[in-house]
Structure 1
C-alpha cells in the first residue's frame, strides 16, 4: 500500500506538521501516524463525509461575480492544522496586548490625539484615512473599548516566527466557519479526537454574548442584544444567522429597527416596539445611518448614530474603529504598544514600507517585482500585487496605480508563509496557510483557542481568501503537557 505521505516535500517553507519528509513534529505525531494507517479509500470516504456534512448543515459563502451572486459550499480540507498549546499561550498574550493597544489608540484618536501630538504618527495619516469618522470625536464607549471583536491574521515565515499580517477591526468575519470546522472534524475523525487533548472552541458564542452584554449602557442584567445584518445577499449572511442563533439573539435588518424621538433604538415585533440595548452590527460604517453617512443606504437605521452618541445603545464594533484597520496605521502598532502600555510587542509586524514616505516609496518602486503591495483599506485579497507571481506587464501597470495615490499603498516582503498537508486528489501536498484568531474585548478580554486556518488550495498560491479560491482547515491547539 502506498503511503499517503509519498512524495510529500517540506523544502520550500516551514511546515506546520512535518519537520521533514516522514518526520512529524512532536505535536502532530499522533495525527501523522493515524493518517498513515488509513487506506486511500478510507481517506476518500472521510472527504466525502465532510462534503455531505457541509451540504446538510447548509454551510455556504457567497462569491460576487459579473454573472451575479453565487452561493457555494464552504471549501473545507479535512487535514487539521496543529499547534502546541505552549506556543499558543504566548501568541494569546500577544493578541491581547495588541488589541488593548489598538483600543487605546482609537480612543486617543477620537480624544486628545496625544499619539499624534507627540510625533508618533503623522496627523495627515489619520486625517486622510477613509475610516476616520469625525462624527465619533469625543465619544466614549463602555470600558473605552471601540473594537470589541477583532480578527487578527497571523502568518509564520520560513524562520518559524509568527508575524501579524493585519488586524481586522471593522466587521471581521469567519468565526462561524472556525466553529463549524470543528463540528465537521468530529464527524470525520471521531476516533482520533478521543485520544488527543485539544483545547475547546465551542464556548465562543457564550463569550461573545457575555462581551456584548458587558458593553450595554443600560443597567440591566439581561440587555436586549440584536445582530444587525445587511440581509441574505451578504457574503457572510450564514455567519450572521449562525451567531444570532447560537447566542439566542434576534437577527434583524435595518427596517426591523427604528429610532424614536427619545433617541432610543426599538425593534419592531408583533407585540409592539421593544427597546434594544446592544447591536452587534455586521454593516460597514458607510451604510449604518443614512442621516450621517451614505444618504442612499437602505441597510442601516436612520438616527442610529444619534442613539449611540446619546448613550442609549451600544454598537459593536463602535463606528470609527476602522481607523485602526488601515494598513498604513498597522505599521505603527508596535510603537502604540510601547507608547500606551510601556511594553515591548510580543508579536512582530511584517516589515512594512509606506508609499507615503519618500524613502519607502523609492524602495518599493525599485523592488516592486519582489514585494507584496496592498491597498490600505481593501479586504478579501483584492487590489493587491504579489510581485514574484506577477508578469512584468502587471508590475508596470501596478506601478502607475501606486504613483496615482501613494498614501493608499504599503509594500511588504514576500514571505515564504508556512504550509500544511492538504488533501489534493487523494494524496497530501503542502499548501500555504494563515491563521485568523478572534479576540473579544469588553469588560474582559478573550481569545479563541486557535482560530480559522485558511488555506490556499491552488498550488503555489499565497492567497488564502475563499473568494479567490481558498479554503479552510480545523485548527487544533493541543495540550502536550504530561505527554
Structure 2
C-alpha cells in the first residue's frame, strides 16, 4: 500500500502550516500530562452521559466513544474548496430525489439503470408525486470524506437518511475548550456551537405553508434503547423542542398531534430518528411500535413536514454511489468538485469478475451495510475470510460493491506509549432548507488501532475535535 499522507507532516517533510502551532505546543508537553488530560476528558464525557449503545451478545451495553485530545486541523483555503464541493453535492442529491419521485428524467436519459431505482428497497413508490416544502427531501446530510494527499479529498459515502454523530462534534469542541484554552489561544478556530440554532432555523424554514403561528417542532426518537438516544435528547434540549416517542403522538382530524400537559398540540415539523420501515404501520411495517399510524397520509397531504423525508435513503444507497458524478453533472451541468472513490458495482458482470480476481486488494461492502459491519478489508483479511466472502459475492453479487483499499491520511493521536499517527475520516454535517448551512469542520473519526483503516465507533474507533482555521 502507498504511504499515507500525514496531515501534520505531509509525506515526511516539514510541519505543514495549519499544524505549526500544535506542533510547537506538543513539543513542550509531557506524555503523562497528556494522559492526565485524556482521563479528564473521559470524566467530562461520563458526566454528560454521552454514550452509545453496542448491540451484540458479547459486548452489548452502553459505552463511551473513545475521544482523542489532539485535534485534527484544516486550513481555511482547504475548507473553502470542501464547502463548494459539498454544497454542489447536496443540491444535486436533492434534485435527484425530486426527479426520481416525479418525472424520472435521469432514468429516461439512461444515466442510471432503471431497475437500480425501481427494484431498490430504499426506493418508496408511496413517495411518487409528493412535493415536500421547498422541494427538499434530505434536509440533514452527513458527507463522509477521506483524504489521501495534500489537496486530495474524496467522498467515501453520503448519508441522506438520518445521519448521526453531530452531538459528538459539539461535545468534543466543548471538552477541548475546557481542557486546552491555551491551545485555542494559539489558533483561530471557527466555531461549531451554533449548530443547534442552525438546525432549528432549517426545520422552521421547511414547515408547511399557511400556518397561523410559529411552527411547532418535535424530535421523534425510537426510545432510550436506541444507540443514538443521547444525541436525540441532546439535540431536542439544545433546540428547545419536545423529544417524543410514538406513544406521545396521534393523528386526529387529519393532523399530527402530540400529547402535552395542556392537552393535544399540533406538530408541524417532525425531525424523525426512526427508519422509514417503522414510520407508519398502516403503510410500511405493520408490526412497528416505533411509528405513528396515519402519519404518512398527513405528510402526503402537506400538513406536516417529516425531516428527512421518507424515501430519501435511495440517494445514499451504495449501489447508487458510483453514479453520483453522473447525477451531479446531470442536474448542475458541471463536473463534480469532489471526486468519488473508484467503485465496482458487483451487479455488473465485468466488475464482479475483476473483484473476484482481486479480493485480496479491495474493500468489499454490503450495499445496505453500515457501521463497519458486513465488509471485507482484503489486505487485512485471512485467506479463509476472503474465501468466505467470495462465496457470498458469487451467491448474491448485487448485494455488494468494492473499492480500492485507500491509504487514508493520518493525524497525530495519543496512543498508549506515545503520540503516533492514526488513520481517520471526516463527516461534515450539512443543513438544507431555505439555504444551505454547513458547519465548519464536522466529526472526525479515528482508527485507534495501529494500522487499522476502520474508524467506526462500533469497531473500536474514536473521535477527535475538528478545527477549521479562520482566514
- TM-score by structure 2 length? 0.97
In the alignment, which residue of structure 2 is the partner of 1:240?
232
Are residues 120 and 380 of structure 1, via their aligned partners in 2, closer, same or farther at CA, if it must alter by over 3 Å? same
SS of 2:340's equivalent in the other structure is coil
In the alignment, which residue of structure 2 is the partner of 1:347?
338
2:124 to 115, 127, 133: 133
RMSD of aligned residue pairs (Cα, Å): 1.3
SS of 2:74's equivalent in the other structure is strand
In the alignment, which residue of structure 1 is the partner of 2:4?
13
In structure 2, the gaps of 5 or more residues are: none
Tell me how far apart the structure 1 counterparts of residues 36 and 178 of structure 2 sit (CA, whole Å): 12
Is 1:258 the equivalent of 2:250? yes
- Per-residue Cα deviation, 1:443-464 (whole angstroms, up to 9, x for no partner): 1101110100000111111110
Tell me how far apart the structure 2 counterparts of residues 404 and 255 of structure 1 sit (CA, whole Å): 42
After superposition, residues 375-454 of structure 1 pair within 5 angstroms as: 375-454=366-445
SS of 1:140's equivalent in the other structure is coil
Q: Give 1:21 shift.
A: 5.6
- Per-residue Cα deviation, 1:38-68 (whole angstroms, up to 9, x for no partner): 1223212211211111112111111111147
Tell me how far apart the structure 1 counterparts of residues 227 and 140 of structure 2 sit (CA, whole Å): 18
Alpha carbons 2:376, 2:389 under 8 Å: kept: yes
Q: Give 1:69 shift.
A: 3.5
After superposition, residues 51-450 of structure 1 pair within 5 angstroms as: 51-67=42-58, 69-158=60-149, 160-220=151-211, 222-260=214-252, 262-450=253-441
Alpha carbons 2:78, 2:151 under 8 Å: kept: no
SS of 1:37's equivalent in the other structure is coil
Are residues 424 and 68 of structure 1, via their aligned partners in 2, closer, same or farther at CA, if it must alter by over 3 Å? closer
Tell me how far apart the structure 1 counterparts of residues 432 and 48 of structure 2 sit (CA, whole Å): 30
Tell me how far apart the structure 1 counterparts of residues 395 and 100 of structure 2 sit (CA, whole Å): 27
Range with greater deviation from structure 2 (429-438 or 357-366) = 357-366
Q: Give 1:159 shift.
A: 6.6
Alpha carbons 1:17, 1:25 under 8 Å: kept: yes
Q: Give 1:219 shift.
A: 3.0
Alpha carbons 1:154, 1:435 under 8 Å: kept: yes
In structure 1, the gaps of 5 or more residues are: 1-10
Q: Give 1:377 shift.
A: 1.3
Alpha carbons 1:375, 1:409 under 8 Å: kept: yes
Q: Give 1:264 shift.
A: 0.8
Are residues 477 and 34 of structure 1, via their aligned partners in 2, closer, same or farther at CA, if it must alter by over 3 Å? same
Tell me how far apart the structure 1 counterparts of residues 151 and 420 of structure 2 sit (CA, whole Å): 20
Q: Give 1:236 shift.
A: 0.3
Q: Give 1:98 shift.
A: 0.3
SS of 2:337's equivalent in the other structure is coil
Are residues 21 and 358 of structure 1, via their aligned partners in 2, closer, same or farther at CA, if it must alter by over 3 Å? closer
Alpha carbons 2:10, 2:150 under 8 Å: kept: no
2:32 to 38, 41, 49: 41
Is 1:29 the equivalent of 2:40? no
Tell me how far apart the structure 2 counterparts of residues 454 and 68 of structure 1 sit (CA, whole Å): 21
SS of 2:52's equivalent in the other structure is strand
1:471 to 457, 462, 465: 462
Tell me how far apart the structure 1 counterparts of residues 373 and 416 of structure 2 sit (CA, whole Å): 28
Tell me how far apart the structure 2 counterparts of residues 346 and 441 of structure 1 sit (CA, whole Å): 19
Range with greater deviation from structure 2 (13-22 or 110-119) = 13-22
Alpha carbons 1:277, 1:312 under 8 Å: kept: yes
